[in-house]
Amino acid sequence: MRPGAHPLRRTAEGARPVDFGAFVRARSRTGDLVVQPRMGFGDPLTMRAGLAATRDADAATVGTITLDSYTRVGELASVENALKTGADLNGYPIVTYDRAVTGQVLAGIRDETFPVQVRHGSAVPVDIFAALRTTLINATEGGPVSYCLPYGRTPLDESVRNWIRCTEDFAQLRESGVEPHLETFGGCMLGQLCPPSQLVAMSVLEALFFCQHGIRSVSLSYAQQTHPGQDREAVAALRRLCGELLPTSNWHVVIYAYMGVYPTTDEGAYLLLDEAARLAVDSGSERLIVKTVAESRRIPTVAENVAALEAAARTARTAVAGGPSSTESDSQTYLEARALIEGVLELSPDIGHAFELAFRQGALDIPYCLHPDNHGRARSYIDGDGRLRWAGIGRLPLAGLVGPARSRDVTSSGLIADLSYVQRAFDRRARESSGLPGRDRADIALPDSGFS
């Protein structure tokens, strides 16, 4: 046991949560795409109702408890004040609530057929992981880079230290007979405009980091981008690199529905979600994080989340799975991702330290990320075919793969246009398919689940 870690309580056999990763992989083998919301509420009764509605949806689902933004940054006094004054929180304050409260939220809902994952977004997650361990919640996500650079100003070396401590403590859940699971967020860096090869590389590197610090059950994220063909190529590269590099066979891939500027029409939002579901099925991915019709306007209701889960499941049932991707031909995305991964791993056998060195030297550089530890020289753009390309590689180890012919200047107007590219494309497609230009379905009622 790491010095300073709290001892674990052993649990009765029937109370042990299932291995989240093994559960998802087992459902995938039966032909189901597991779908999951990004749902979180400050009120325990509402959180419990949301989990129950997710479990009861007409889909193969897993549950989500998304934490509030105060808990994410460690402002626990603000959480206490919100709870005292009755102010709304934008997620579940797991650190502040007594573990008995969280136990009541999960009781009778989480079981061997319905595992639950906590999502948080924190570069300082020590208190969060402590709460997970005391409540025996064995699935969460994040990473030392992906939950640091885009989200705040926590120094990268501090985030790395935090995540080493938390990962090693989380791995000790096995002492209680519970298999801990961690999902990388590296495949979702910035949400949009990060070239797919870098998303793939970051996801693999964070998974290797988790494994290096004792985790045996991992999932690797990839966020839907701007071109379906490029996304399929990226997921094929990700799966190949997992097979080549991960020291565990207990891994799966999770697709995130597009995380950038979302369509404003309901039809556009559903068309984009449909495409994400088809990507997941066609690429052999095992799980999908959905988004809802409300994403461009507000935090979605439980009913809207359930509607998105069921819509994605319907699309997945009718989608045609692609054949196994060839591992003999090296795609451009695979070659770039492999070069980025190797460029980091050669810096230090300690992956956390390698992350620090890579960002210090520019061997990793996230386009348009303003964090002080990011070089900020890499740039990207969307080409005429809708594919994400490098506009400039800075000091990334891609010189032999991305030639100067692909480089180009990025203007402010071009960047703004790229940021709204997907939103405009799918809203336009929605209007064309409906034959009613300018009309959306914002006023049409969603299926009623009995919750709001």
Straight-line distance from the first to the last Cα atom of the chain, in angstroms, rounded to the nearest whole number: 44
pLDDT cut 90: percent of the chain above it: 79
- Report which of 268, 335, 277 is spatially closest to residue 296, judged by C-alpha positions: 268
How far, in Å, are 218, 345, 364 from residue 341 at the CA level? Answer: 18, 6, 9
Computed over every residue of the chain, the mean pLDDT equals 90
- Is 201 a domain residue? yes
Answer yes or no: are the C-beta atoms of 395 and 375 closer than 8 Å. Answer: yes
Token pair, residue 265, equals 């029409």
Asked whether residue 8 is domain-assigned, the answer is no
394-430: pLDDT as tens digits: 999 999 898 764 556 778 888 888 888 889 989 999 8
Report the sign of the C-alpha dihedral through residues 138, 37, 312, 254, in that order: negative
φ and ψ at residue 306, rounded to 5 degrees: -65, -40
Residue 145's domain comprises: 24-318
In a domain, 375, yes or no: no
Asked whether residue 178 is domain-assigned, the answer is yes
Closest CA to 265 of 419, 439, 434: 439
CA 374 vs. chain centroid, Å, equals: 21
Contact between 7 and 1 under an 8 Å Cβ cutoff? The reply is yes
Identity of the amino acid at 387: R
pLDDT in tens, 349-371: 999 999 999 999 999 999 999 99
- Predicted local distance difference test score (pLDDT) of residue 329: 74
User: Domain total for the chain?
Assistant: 1
Instruction: Identify the CATH number of the domain in which residue 258 sits.
Output: 3.20.20.240
What pLDDT is recorded for position 449?
30
Q: pLDDT-based confidence at 30, cuts 50/70/90?
A: very high
pLDDT at 167: 98
Q: Which residues contact 255 (CB under 8 A, 6 or more apart)?
A: 221, 222, 223, 224, 235, 276, 279, 280, 283, 285, 287, 288, 289
Average pLDDT over residues 12-23: 78
Task: Report pLDDT for 404.
Answer: 66
In a domain, residue 11? The reply is no
Of 264, 286, 291, 253, whose CA–CA distance to 275 is shortest?
291
Whole-number Å distance between alpha carbons of 339 and 341: 6
- Minimum mean pLDDT range among 17-26, 45-54, 226-235, 312-321: 312-321
Identify the band that residue 320 occupies on the pLDDT scale cut at 50, 70 and 90.
confident
How do residues 249-296 score in pLDDT, each as one tens digit? Answer: 999 999 999 998 899 999 999 999 999 999 999 999 999 999 998 887
Domain membership of residue 324 (yes or no) is no
Q: Does residue 196 fall inside a structural domain?
A: yes
Read off the pTM.
0.91
Would you place residue 2 in the very low, low, confident or very high pLDDT band (cuts 50, 70, 90)? Answer: very low
Q: How confident is the model at residue 327 (pLDDT cuts 50, 70, 90)?
A: low
**Which distant-in-sequence residues (6+ apart) come within 8 Å of 313 by Cβ?**
33, 35, 57, 58, 59, 60, 277
Parallel, antiparallel, or unpaired for β 181-184 and 217-223? parallel
Residue 18 domain flag: no
Residue 14 has pLDDT above 70, yes or no: no
Tokens of residue 213, six digits = 């610090």
Q: Which two tokens stand for residue 311?
A: 């819509």
Instruction: Check residue 250 and give its pLDDT.
Output: 97
pLDDT reported for residue 147: 94
pLDDT of residue 323 exceeding 60: no
